[in-house]
Amino acid sequence: MRQLLIIFYLTLTASWTFAQKLHPDSIYMLPDVRVSASKIVTYSAGQKVESIDSTLISGSGNVGLGELLYRNSSLNINRYNLNGLNLLSVRGTTSSQSSVYWNGFQLNPPNNSLIDLSIIPANYFNDISILYGGSSSLYGSGNIGAGIHLNNKPVFKKLQYLSFYNSIASFHEYSGNIKAIYANPKWYFKTQVMGRKAQNDFRYKSLEGEYENFANAALRQKGFMQDVFRNFKGRNISGISLWYQENDKEIPATLTSKPADADQKDRSLRGVLSSKQFIPKGFISAKLAVFNDYEHYIDPDSLQVLEIDSEIETTRIQGEVSMNKQISKSTMFDAGVELIHLTGKSVNYAQQINQQQAGIYLLISQRFLQNKWVANLKMRQDFNTDFTMPFTPSLGLEGPVINNLKIKATVSKNFRIPTFNDLYWIPGGNSELKPETSWNQDIGLLYKTDTASRIDFYSELTAFNSMVDDWIMWIPDGALWSPLNIRRVWARGIEATAKSNVSFGKVKAGIMANYTYTRSTNEKKLYDNDPVYQKQLIYIPKHRFQLSLNLVFAYWVVGVDQSYTGERYVSADNTESMEGYLLTNMYVQKSLIFNNDRLILKAEILNLLNEEYQAVLYYPMPGRSYSISIQLIIQ
């Protein structure tokens, strides 16, 4: 009966579309199937890699990726308001200097390189990893601060899974999703459908001290993802992943502007086709991705001359072929080539933009000292039809010092190419821009208890340093703003992470803490007595702290998490700043078991202490809010 139900659901969903860190071995075994590790696993020696727990991902409902990462990692997320942008800011860099990847391909659009994490449903993926620091030698442009990697990994074993999720929350928010998985040793099917709408009409205090309802902030979102993979007797794994999403967001006014009536509609269609052929002691991989993103922004005005009606469409077509080979017990290499075709169309471009890129890379992993130490040498050269791209080498090293203490270090060169808007926007674009380049260094200590220990404890301390040259910045030239390679930015700091799981009889407790200290300063004078010289960049907090605790007993889970974001400067000369803020969230979850099926009830309170704050100046954020969800899992 369940099999029929899942088949029926998959058929219904198809018709609707038309109206977690592994041991760094290259290959590990699943029943009758060989699965190869990603480049992050095999070639990240010396770098900090953080994986989001799979239970947090699966239990996140329709929460956006930005909210999940803000509450469960050391990443800084600049959140403009409840319906605004969630932009990544890591290790003192800007949002465009870090990248988000889906199944190995960059999601950042070429027009502005900004990816809004609030509209990416976190539970779409079964693996979310964060690679901190520079990784241009692995993935090319846009990897100076960090890379977030979202993956849909197939599992070839007998599995039937059907999940229905619904939630209701404050500010007239309603959301739901359905997930179905059918798998066996030969096939893997996964279908996901989601929908969400919200008025986001929370109360806030205006600059005059009056409480008002937030206006013009409604959100309507729907999306669909489909994965189909085939295992050919363990010799080849091929598959296709499709992702379609629509977002309709009203754009609210700031506290200092007149009431708004702006609206933005986004549409994304993404597909990845992949094939992996296993050979003795390695594999050959071929992948093709096609991403199309469309954005339509409308801001009406009583004066026609002030009306904004802007459309932009970008397309990324990218192919990659690589070979991974273990040439001895201690040596492994990966060599590959990438070809990318980018297009962009907008009324603000003189004509359609066409840009070609290519990249070749060689990655070598060498183990030594009884295979306890590992060194990675990574080399990559990219090419672009519009400008010269830098050669990006990287060297990483890690190994044990004493007992369970490990040391790790890396040095790398990285870069980010200018966006289409930087180069071709009319008026103001500058076609003479050069890529931003940086040298990044990390050094860290990692401690982890033995697997046989009664108390599971993990801690990591990392110091990071980077110097970014030719930093692109839009500056005024009379009435016209234009981008220039004008800054040299020095970013440095420390990151500390501690995690522990302890059992007290039938009660299990888990605790995680993250702390980040960041200094990011401009090290280049534009003129004598430049007030911006050696000042902290705006919206980059020096201090960021995150703490979470959960208790599991019987079929109950109680969790609390806190996130502190420190003072941020909002003027380049550091004369104006915003106070830090502390957010506390709490949830209670109860599971009801029926044979192999589960009914999960969850109640959550966000901003428990009713903190009044702004994450970005003049963009109000809501006070205390509530949500209730129910999830039925049939297996």
Residue 136 to residue 332: CA distance in whole angstroms: 20
Residue 136 to residue 113: CA distance in whole angstroms: 15
Token pair belonging to 106: 């960059």
Q: Is the pLDDT of residue 354 over 50?
A: yes
> Coil, helix or strand for 86?
strand
| pLDDT at position 12 | 36
Helices vs strands, H then E, count in the chain: 6, 37
Q: Is the pLDDT of residue 541 over 90?
A: yes
Query: What are the chain's domains?
Result: 2-222+231-250+275-634 (2.40.170.20)
**Residues 320-345, mean pLDDT to the nearest whole number:** 96
Q: Is the pLDDT of residue 8 over 60?
A: no
**pLDDT category of residue 303 using cuts at 50, 70 and 90:** low
Residue 387 to residue 258: CA distance in whole angstroms: 42
Q: Please, are residues 97 and 144 in contact by the beta-carbon 8 Å criterion?
A: yes
pLDDT in tens, 255-282: 998 888 899 999 999 999 999 999 999 9
Q: Which residues contact 69 (CB under 8 A, 6 or more apart)?
A: 52, 75, 77, 88, 117, 130, 148
| pLDDT at position 44 | 92
End-to-end Cα, the chain, rounded Å: 11
| pLDDT at position 36 | 52
Instruction: Give percent of the chain with pLDDT exceeding 70.
Output: 93
Residue 101 to residue 196: CA distance in whole angstroms: 23
Q: Is the pLDDT of residue 506 over 60?
A: yes
Q: Is the pLDDT of residue 9 over 80?
A: no
Q: Is the pLDDT of residue 14 over 60?
A: no
Please, what's the b/e burial string for 5-17 (b: 16 or more CB within 10 A of its CB; e: otherwise)?
ebeebbeebeeee
Q: Is the pLDDT of residue 32 over 90?
A: no
User: Does pTM surpass 0.85?
Assistant: yes
